[in-house]
């Protein structure tokens, strides 16, 4: 038998929450001490595991009470269904992470993942929609359907462009070769991500040079100074610097 405090320490569920689960009939203790304190046995802990899995899947408490209290409740079948749902949830999260990484490389800011919690996926999705959902670029990007292998190839090809920029960085960003590379970059982004107007391209160029993570990624592909060179070539191409 375990006390409510011990269960709380073991599971991370607060004592207040455990008491509330008892009050609503979701997790009654196995027994009580003479002093009236709740005690939980292995059966209660197994039930709590089921509850936590349902909560992780964001089932409302009223639905969990109905499910686990039903005489037809099949723990084994429920666990199989929970595993399937959790796998789907993991796949969705993996897709979101992959999506955010691709966006970061091409220059659209992503939500800060340090505050990301898998129990708040819906909240994240809403923020993402508010952040990007009304932009033409996002709509275009979200319609691109590719497999993981195809996405990997696209990103490798994208970084190869900066390797080509790196071969030119000892020359002038105003040179015909450098300007041809900028045009090639713009065309690649338009083909694989979204329509890259000169305005968008200009913003990307500034970000490539100013943001340390962008700069490091680009320089890792083309060598030190590639990001700055590409940014200057883009500025020329977009008419911000006269030839």
- Can you give 73-142 as a three-state secondary structure string? CCHHHHHHHHHHHHHHHHHHHHHHHHHHHHHHHHCCCCCCHHHCCHHHHHHHHHHHHHHHCCCHHHHHHH
Average pLDDT over residues 27-47: 91
Q: Per mean pLDDT, which of 5-19, 55-69, 133-147 is the most reliable? A: 5-19
All domains of the chain in start order, with CATH: 2-73 (1.10.1660.10), 89-142 (no CATH), 148-237 (1.10.490)
Mean pLDDT of the chain: 79
pLDDT at residue 10 greater than cutoff 60: yes
Nearest to 197 by CA among 140, 117, 124, 116: 140
More confidently predicted of 137 and 30? 30
pTM metric for this prediction: 0.46
242's tokens: 């006269």
């Amino acid at each position: 038998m375990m006390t409510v405090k011990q269960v709380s320490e073991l599971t991370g569920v607060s004592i207040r929450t455990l008491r509330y689960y008892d009050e609503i009939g979701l997790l009654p203790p196995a027994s009580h001490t003479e002093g009236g304190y709740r005690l939980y046995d292995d059966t209660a802990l197994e039930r709590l595991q089921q509850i936590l899995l349902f909560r992780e899947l964001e089932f409302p408490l009223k639905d969990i009470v109905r499910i686990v209290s039903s005489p037809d409740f099949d723990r084994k079948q429920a666990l199989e269904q929970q595993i399937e749902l959790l796998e789907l949830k993991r796949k969705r999260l993996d897709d979101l992470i992959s999506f955010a990484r691709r966006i970061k490389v091409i220059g659209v800011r992503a939500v800060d993942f340090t505050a990301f919690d898998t129990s708040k996926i819906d909240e994240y999705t809403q923020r993402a929609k508010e952040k990007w959902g009304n932009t033409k670029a996002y709509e275009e990007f979200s319609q691109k359907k590719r497999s993981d292998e195809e996405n990997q190839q696209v990103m490798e090809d994208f970084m190869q462009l900066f390797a080509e920029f790196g071969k030119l960085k000892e020359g002038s960003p105003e040179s015909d070769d450098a300007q041809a590379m900028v045009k090639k970059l713009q065309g690649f982004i338009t083909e694989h991500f979204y329509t890259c107007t000169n305005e968008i391209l200009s913003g990307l160029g500034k970000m490539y040079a100013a943001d340390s993570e962008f700069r490091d990624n680009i320089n890792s592909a083309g060598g030190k100074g590639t990001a700055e060179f590409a940014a200057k070539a883009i500025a020329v191409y977009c008419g911000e610097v006269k030839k």
